[in-house]
Amino acid sequence: MINDDRPSRISDESDPAMPGLGTLVIRTWHEPDQTPDFRARISYSQAPGDEPTTVSTANPDEVLSVVRQWLLDQPLPPGNV
């Protein structure tokens, strides 16, 4: 997605029947003088008004684990149980 484009199924209008979606941002970079050289910082929240949690890691598997858990913790819309 470019320029904050939203998937077509998500609108900007507030729908009280639809739970708020959280935010997850992943920043990755390489530090060539370190072993391993991979680095990541993950900031996430479960709801729009929540204070974000930040995790830093040098382990790509930990990034995947945090993303997987964040996705599992997202609220489902009514009727999608």
What are 48-67's pLDDT values in tens digits?
Answer: 888 999 999 999 999 999 99
C-beta separation of 63 from 40 below 8 A: yes
pLDDT value of position 32:
94
User: 36, 19, 10, 5: which is closest to 63 by C-alpha?
Assistant: 36
* Total-model pTM: 0.68
pLDDT value of position 71:
92
pLDDT value of position 76:
73
pLDDT digits (tens, 9 = 90+) for 9-50: 444 455 555 556 789 999 999 999 999 999 999 999 988 888
